[in-house]
Structure 1
Amino acid sequence: MQVFIITALLVHFVFLISIFDIYFTSPLVHGMTPQQTPLPPPAKRLVLFVADGLRADSLYELDEDGTSRAPYLRNIIEYKGNWGVSHTRVPTESRPGHVALIAGFYEDVSAVAKGWKENPVEFDSVFNESKYTWSWGSPDILPMFAKGASGNHVYTHCYAAEREDFGAEDATKLDTWVFDNVKSFFQSARNNQTLFSKLNEEKIILFLHLLGIDTNGHAHRPDSREYKDNIRKVDEGVKEISAVLEDFYGNDGKTAFILTSDHGMTDWGSHGAGHPSETLTPLIAWGAGVNYAQRVASQLFEDEFLKEWRLETWKRQDVNQGILPLEYLNSSGHFKAESMFANAVQILEQFKVKMSQKKETTLSFLFSTFK
């Protein structure tokens, strides 16, 4: 009996240790050789709108009278760009969601638990690889992508933390602040030659973090007037910013736009778990290098969303966060092949570093490679 108890305790101890080894150890490694495609990209600049806490169905569905609460984005789906559902992963929180979108990997739990603004595990991101990145929005999100970036080329414009009042009557003002400041930024750039020159460089990223929908969802729930009106406000803001950029760059056709979300929200105004209302987020892309809208006779999806959203005839292309969505690219087969090759080599470089680390920490007679 005593042997049985000791064995049982030992087994449970091993199981407990394994949880920390599997889930609380960073999957990241460092020291890989950076990879990139040798071909010029189709866009000079990227504008990334992230509507925090926006559910896919809340954006795509029609109101009771059959009209869209996001008419500008609906028009893009039907005429100008590609759309689909972006499938997020647990935990459906803002930090890991943004890391997946901007850094291209699922962040380990230890990083989520150790704080939002600090980076307990250093990681690279598309912002760090840009020539310049300007971002506007929440002080909880923007700093973690600027911290640790090489050089001084990731700029943040944050509102005061006191503005994030989850008990406020209406949090739409958070998004209005972002849109107003972006418009003022481009107006001032016309009279600032240094800034004007930077904005006309290659590899520019503009990141607009829109927290109002998430805040209104927590305070009033996704079926509330505040949540739905905030979606309308975001749609209007995206339209305004698109017009400002087209005017600033003289309609040069070199701007790519993406609107998506980091996570969704349950009917009762929470997120963090794996319910479809939390993991299904919208993805709409248009502009330079992005395929045009495609009409189809029929589509096969296990869910009934296409019929509910009345988008059966517009090709829906779902993606998983962190995976290169080739279907969205309007580029040559050569460019797509080079992109896939660079992605594959990048994974191989990571494997080489991981194997080297494993070899160094394993007894030589226990280490063997597969053929």
Structure 2
Amino acid sequence: MILQKTGRATCDNFTQSSDTSKNNTVFAPNERTGGLTSLEEMLFYSLAGLVQLVALLIFAFGFFPSKSPIPGFATHESQKIDGEAQSLSLDCVEKISYDKPLIDQLVIVVIDALRSDYLFDEETPMTFIRSLVESGNRLAFNAHVQSPTVTMPRIKAFTSGTVPAFLDIVLNLASSGFSEDSIIAQLQKNNQRIAFYGDETWLQLFPNTFLQRSEGTVSFFVKDYTEVDDNVTRHLDHELKHWNSWDVMILHYLGLDHIGHSLGPKSTVLPGKLREMDSIVRKIYDSLTENNRSFGMVILGDHGMTDGGSHGGSSDQETLVPLVFLSPQMSAASVFIDGKRVEQIDMVPTVSGLLGLPIPQNNLGAMLVDVLSAFTRPQQLHEQLSDLMLVHANAVQISKVYESRFGSEMSDQLDQLTRRSGAILDAYCRQGSLPEGEPVSALIAGYLSMIQKMQGRLLVSFANYDMHLIYIGLGMSLMVTLSLVLRLLYKYYRQETHQWPSFSTAILWVGLALHAISLFASSFVEEEHQIWYWLLPSYLILFGFQQTGKLLVHGKVEQSESSKNDIVKLLIVLVLHRVLRAWNQTGDKWAHLPDIGDWLNQPSHKNELVFLGIGSITLITLMLLHRDRHRLRISHFLCVTGLVLVAFAHFSFDRTVLCVRVIWLIAAACAFAFGRRLWALAMWTALLMKPHNLPLLCGVVIQGRLLSSLDIHPLALYFALAAAFFYTGNSNSLASLDVGAGYYGLAQYHPVPVGLQMLISTYAGPLLLFCVSMT
């Protein structure tokens, strides 16, 4: 109905313009263009489009600001204590030097998507790591990570101590070499041998850095969560047997992340994966302990995951991960700090201190002195002085980053602490004792306070945007919009007759304006679905009142029947809307509340899920074939076969590659051989949907059919499309993307089909509703 009316209007306009063109040349001004020639009209709209594009580019430069890192690589000379300490004897400084490693070997185990509650929960399957609490051989922290919470930016962050940019989300799909100073670069410069096994992103970021026997695994093929980890673990026996052939070993396990994407964090296979990771940590720890090695282990998650299994946003589930330090050399008398809140980038200066490396140039992390103090050293005084030199190095390094952005406002405090530290070292080396009234712990606390103050301001500044460019871009875009609106109003008032819009239509335009204004508030952006969930039924109710008025005013039988039918259809659409909006909770504040999808995904309701899923596919099939029900064709057989296979793929074959590819072929045949593109889209979207969303998809199809038969304003369809986007559980957070949907039917990673399937899965609701309403 919407399309037919629009089409008739377009045809009528074309006919009238054809008649007019008999008497006017294409360059002549006329009433329809508001006094401008067609050429001038074309130039006006072309210029508006060009200015809008420039505005978008300016906005993008402001929203994705480029960082200006300090060039070069750090050295110990640039981070040592100056002043009086320079004249001390080399023997004395050598005793308390901070550039000597505290351990001989380090193992870093990155468990992708390991969020904090997986370790800190009392019933965690990771029993070995928790058991080390009793022996005092573990310090565990609750580490905060900065968004975007995707793998490649996080690797950059916890190896260099820097804050990732949102532009790294795009680069995450095609990682390139990382040229900034980092722990990896410092290890290479100090001739340390690094073995690596795991996510191939590391090999792309740090090419020609690891030992030749290192091996990467593909991170994007999320349907595999077993072999991807087995390919890492199979190298462990060889590396542990030849423990003297490497100094640092890095392992990056992807299976847990893949389980989240493909099965969800509540999957029954997830505890088994956590136990597997725990057993791997035990194997490494026990083996190196038996060899009497002085070693340390760092276990961390690069990011967390939401209850939907995705990540990329800034919720606590995505940004809080464990950071664990293990070592037999850690003192049993050390204070256990289980769950203390730190920044994940704090591991960068801490690991540098453990390995005796210079702290990377652009690091924003603060030294975790609790970890360094936990390692046993010959004398307590030496231990404190070494800690003092380490936090001084951290303060000098981070002050240079701070000065590059904010000037030298912290230099006086740093100079004062440096003079006091130099005096302490001088007294110790010359007299063998410390000056009275100057405890080392107070100086260390002073350094840490200054470091954390600089860190806090730097983290905020790196998360800021170039507001000048953003305002310029928004201003240009607003001017273009206003000029177009004024142009349309001018053309409207030059017409001979004016027809004011109905009240319900006016509500659509007001609602559209209110939605645009709401986007200036972050809380409204996070909860945008609430706006559409309110605007759509509001218009439909007002439209229903109009139809009721027609039913009461007009006495004609035909009009009365038509109005009655419209009212019934509107009631069905409103009921469907209420059910569909409750299917998947989304947004930020209330996403944790239970919904229909959660109920269907419970193991005790598996029978209901299968019944509703198969019933929905059957109903979709009947609706697709309804218009051609009088003629049986080959395309009908293909449509039924394809949708039956979709049902099997969801509830029987576990979406095997062969089954999915057969569905692809059937969908392609329907689309290109028989011209049934809607059928092909229905098959594909039903295949990519999670099983509990199949009834939702059926509801969207019904909603589209009913809306297309109503005489509603085209803007109302736009409102329905926006609501359908959120029905499926989408939000404005990257975490709502279903990455696993991109891999159906694929045996390995291919960027084009993966991207296409993710796109269709994300926009399945509005795509299907639009196509159904247009046919």
| Greater C-alpha Rg | 2
Give 1:59's aligned residue. 119
Q: Distance in 2 between matches of 1:288 and 1:41?
A: 15
Contact 2:300-2:321 at 8 Å conserved across structures: yes
Measured after TM superposition, the shift of residue 345 of structure 1 is 1.8
Measured after TM superposition, the shift of residue 146 of structure 1 is 2.2
Matched, 1:343 2:394: yes
Matched, 1:265 2:265: no
Give 2:48's aligned residue. none
Q: Distance in 2 between matches of 1:158 and 1:92?
A: 24
Matches within 5 A, 1:25-36: 25-31=66-72, 33-35=74-76
1:337-360 residue CA offsets vs partner (Å, 9 max, x unmatched): 11111122223444566799xxxx
Secondary structure class of the residue paired with 1:225: coil
Contact 2:112-2:302 at 8 Å conserved across structures: yes
Q: Note closer, same or farther for the CA distance 1:155–1:83 as it changes in structure 2 (3 Å cut).
A: farther
Q: Distance in 2 between matches of 1:61 and 1:156?
A: 37
Paired letter, 1:144: Q
Contact 1:43-1:256 at 8 Å conserved across structures: yes
Q: Note closer, same or farther for the CA distance 1:118–1:270 as it changes in structure 2 (3 Å cut).
A: closer
1:207-231 residue CA offsets vs partner (Å, 9 max, x unmatched): 0101110011111111111222101
Q: Note closer, same or farther for the CA distance 1:164–1:291 as it changes in structure 2 (3 Å cut).
A: farther
Q: Note closer, same or farther for the CA distance 1:90–1:111 as it changes in structure 2 (3 Å cut).
A: closer
* Structure 2: stretches of 5+ with no match in the other structure: 1-50, 81-96, 346-364, 376-382, 408-775
Contact 2:194-2:210 at 8 Å conserved across structures: yes
Measured after TM superposition, the shift of residue 114 of structure 1 is 3.0
Give 2:153's aligned residue. 96
Paired letter, 1:338: M
Measured after TM superposition, the shift of residue 73 of structure 1 is 0.7
Q: Distance in 2 between matches of 1:338 and 1:15?
A: 49
Paired letter, 2:202: L
Matches within 5 A, 1:185-334: 185-187=239-241, 189=242, 196=244, 198-199=245-246, 204-247=247-290, 250-252=291-293, 254-287=294-327, 290=330, 292=332, 315-322=338-345, 323=365, 324-330=367-373, 332-334=383-385
Paired letter, 1:113: V
Q: Distance in 1 between matches of 2:213 and 2:204?
A: 10
Give 1:174's aligned residue. 228
Contact 1:26-1:121 at 8 Å conserved across structures: no
Q: Note closer, same or farther for the CA distance 1:160–1:113 as it changes in structure 2 (3 Å cut).
A: closer
Q: Distance in 2 between matches of 1:288 and 1:100?
A: 28
Measured after TM superposition, the shift of residue 106 of structure 1 is 1.4
Measured after TM superposition, the shift of residue 59 of structure 1 is 2.3
Q: Distance in 2 between matches of 1:321 and 1:16?
A: 33
Q: Distance in 2 between matches of 1:283 and 1:31?
A: 28
Q: Distance in 2 between matches of 1:121 and 1:137?
A: 18
Contact 1:86-1:283 at 8 Å conserved across structures: yes
Measured after TM superposition, the shift of residue 165 of structure 1 is 3.5
Q: Note closer, same or farther for the CA distance 1:270–1:292 as it changes in structure 2 (3 Å cut).
A: farther
Give 1:365's aligned residue. none
Q: What is the identity percentage for the equivalent residue pairs of Structure 1 and Structure 2? A: 22
Paired letter, 1:206: M
Q: Note closer, same or farther for the CA distance 1:106–1:30 as it changes in structure 2 (3 Å cut).
A: same
Give 2:759's aligned residue. none
Measured after TM superposition, the shift of residue 32 of structure 1 is 5.8
1:225-247 residue CA offsets vs partner (Å, 9 max, x unmatched): 12221011000111112222233
Give 1:71's aligned residue. 127
Q: Note closer, same or farther for the CA distance 1:165–1:61 as it changes in structure 2 (3 Å cut).
A: same
Contact 2:112-2:303 at 8 Å conserved across structures: yes
Matched, 1:17 2:74: no
Q: Distance in 1 between matches of 2:72 and 2:176?
A: 18
Contact 2:297-2:325 at 8 Å conserved across structures: yes
Q: Distance in 2 between matches of 1:15 and 1:165?
A: 33
Q: Distance in 1 between matches of 2:210 and 2:109?
A: 19
Q: Distance in 1 between matches of 2:329 and 2:55?
A: 50
1:171-211 residue CA offsets vs partner (Å, 9 max, x unmatched): 13322331221212333x38xxxxx4x43xxxx21101011
Contact 1:146-1:155 at 8 Å conserved across structures: no
Matches within 5 A, 1:116-155: 116=173, 118-119=175-176, 122-130=179-187, 131-139=192-200, 141-147=201-207
Measured after TM superposition, the shift of residue 156 of structure 1 is 6.5
Q: Distance in 1 between matches of 2:63 and 2:216?
A: 37
Name the structure where strand makes up a greater proportion of residues. Answer: 1
Q: Distance in 2 between matches of 1:293 and 1:156?
A: 39
Q: Distance in 1 between matches of 2:296 and 2:107?
A: 6
Q: Note closer, same or farther for the CA distance 1:352–1:275 as it changes in structure 2 (3 Å cut).
A: closer
Measured after TM superposition, the shift of residue 283 of structure 1 is 1.6
Q: Distance in 1 between matches of 2:194 and 2:282?
A: 21
TM-score normalized with structure 2 length: 0.36
Contact 1:48-1:207 at 8 Å conserved across structures: yes
Matched, 1:86 2:164: no
Paired letter, 1:100: A
TM-score normalized with structure 1 length: 0.72
Contact 1:134-1:154 at 8 Å conserved across structures: yes
Aligned length: 306
Measured after TM superposition, the shift of residue 103 of structure 1 is 1.7
Contact 2:113-2:302 at 8 Å conserved across structures: yes
Q: Distance in 1 between matches of 2:288 and 2:335?
A: 28
1:113-135 residue CA offsets vs partner (Å, 9 max, x unmatched): 23555436521221221212111
Name the structure where helix makes up a greater proportion of residues. Answer: 2
Measured after TM superposition, the shift of residue 23 of structure 1 is 3.1
Q: Distance in 2 between matches of 1:156 and 1:260?
A: 24
Contact 1:69-1:228 at 8 Å conserved across structures: yes
Q: Note closer, same or farther for the CA distance 1:14–1:337 as it changes in structure 2 (3 Å cut).
A: farther
User: RMSD of the alignment, in Å?
Assistant: 3.3
Where relative contact order (Cα < 8 A, 6+ residues apart) is larger, the structure is 1
Matched, 1:50 2:103: no
Contact 2:228-2:254 at 8 Å conserved across structures: yes
Contact 1:116-1:144 at 8 Å conserved across structures: no
Paired letter, 2:260: G
